[in-house]
Amino acid sequence: MLAESAIISASMPKVLLDWFYVAVFAVVGTLMAVLPLAVVWLLAPRQDSPQKTITYESGVLPFGQAWAQFNVRYYLFALIFVVFDVEVIYLYPWAVVFRQLGPVAFVEMLVFLLILLVGLVYAWKKGALEWV
């Protein structure tokens, strides 16, 4: 194990090797996911009929486009999500160093989170978290 990693680090840093694997996984995984689709393309029957490719709408002929406009509520949740997701990215580095740095890091994060909790309370009070 140790000997092996020494050989690799001579040519390539661990970080790059790690992600090299991820890249191979993504590429080969995509190929493997496409493979059954190709098999189907070879094996399965293909009989096109105009009825078959109609959009499914519980057996009734579809009317209008599905690409319609939706409720603004969806946006509000996505918006609050983005802001808090960004907050979470600051928690990750904090989580790693927290136990080395001790009280100072805790207080710094406390201030950070309290400011953002104000935002959550605001959204809550304004009813941005209500669906109806």
Partner 1 sequence: MHVGLMHYLILSALLFCTGLYGVVTRRNAVAILMGIELMLNAANINLVAFNRYVAPTAVGGQIFALVIITLAACEAAVGLALVLAAYRTLETTQVDEINIMKW
Partner 2 sequence: MSWVLELLKAIGLTVLLFTFLAVVTAMMGVYAERKIAGWIQARLGPKHVGPQGLLQTVADTVKLLQKEHITPRRADVLMFNAAPVVVAVAALLDWVVIPFGTLGSRVLVVRDINIGVLYFSAMASVTVLGILTAGWSSNNKYALLGGLRSASQLISYELPLALGILWAAMVAGTLSTVGIVEAQIQQGGWFLFTLPPPIGRLGAPFGILAAVTFLVAATAEVNRVPFDLPEAESELVAGYFVEYTGMRFALFQLGEYGEMFGMAALATIMFLGGWAEPHLAPYLWVAVALGAVVVAAVILLTARHSLVIRPVLSLAVLTAAVGLLMSVGGHLPSIVWFLLKLFTLVFFLMWVRWTYPRLRLDQLLNLSWKVLLPLGLLNLLATGLVLTLGGR
Partner 3 sequence: MGELGAFIVLALVTLIPAVVVVTSHNIVRAAFSLVPSFLGVTGLYILLQAEFVAGIQVLIYVGAITVLLLFVIMLTEGGTGVRLRQVNEQVPLGAMAAVWLAFVIIVILTRTVWPVGAGSPPPYNATAIGNAFMTDYVLIFEATSLVLLVSLIGAIVTARGEE
**What is the binding site for partner 1 (CB under 8 A)?**
72, 75, 79, 82-83, 85-86, 89-90
Q: Which of 56, 63, 67, 131 binds partner 3 (CB under 8 A)?
A: 67
Nearest to residue 123, comparing CAs of 76, 85, 88? 76
Cα gap 40→34, rounded to integer Å:
10
Nearest to residue 75, comparing CAs of 114, 131, 115, 116? 131
Residues 6+ apart with CB under 8 A from 55: 62, 66
Residue 125's binding partner among partner 2, partner 1, partner 3, none (Cβ under 5 to 8 angstroms by kind) is: none
How many Cα atoms are found within 13 Å in the side-chain-facing hemisphere of 38?
6
Q: In angstroms, what is the minimal distance from the CB of 40 to partner 1?
A: 35
Q: In angstroms, what is the minimal distance from the CB of 46 to partner 3?
A: 26
Map the footprint of partner 3 across residues 81-120, applying CB under 8 A.
Answer: 81-83, 85-87, 89-90, 92-98, 100-101, 104-105, 108, 111-113, 115-116, 118-119
What residue type is assigned to position 66 of the chain? A
Cα gap 113→88, rounded to integer Å:
10
Is 25 a binding residue for partner 3 by CB under 8 A? The answer is: no
Q: Name the site residues for partner 3 (rule: CB under 8 A).
A: 12-16, 19, 23, 65, 67-72, 74-76, 78-83, 85-87, 89-90, 92-98, 100-101, 104-105, 108, 111-113, 115-116, 118-119, 122-123, 126, 128
